[in-house]
Structure 1
């Protein structure tokens, strides 16, 4: 967690999260950019950590992204908001799993399968 994130409003943090997801989405077709994809993943974890430090309501603000136009944004938001909004996150994952969207549908199906095996696997 950086001081930069600590100084941001919740809306700014949500925007940083969304932009990191969009950058990841652009990289899904270029597997050689795994390093950049992983750097964006670290941004998601840092934002989650900052929201978590501000309490459950702050973390629940990620729910705004469950309706985003981009499937990668919805997927990441669902996995990161799951501990504080299980039903909404699970519904989003089910919706993603039911349509064919490159890579995201598969990851949503695998996440749902894992949740059946280990219900608290997303409680991070």
Structure 2
């Protein structure tokens, strides 16, 4: 009975969220689109400032949205180095950007991103 009530509650919750159109505010950037704010300066884990425009190469720019806490990111971030090397060979720039705007402190702070990069990505 409890399981049945849980599924009913879950289904109603999803229906309510979809009815409120909660997900409509997500902007989708199509492959090949121009980057919004390409000249905005951002600090990398190296401490250097850069913009997407500066990282753009002859054959484009790969932007990877990442963070320290996402289990999906953590499961495949060991591929960043290989992807970065392939980008260099193909003359494509690469940037990994912390997309976790809701948590830019604690485990997703700049200090923690630097520590995470040293431990996991080097």
Q: Output the TM-score relative to the length of structure 2.
A: 0.30
Larger Rg belongs to = 2
Report which of the two has the higher share of helix.
1
Q: Output the TM-score relative to the length of structure 1.
A: 0.29
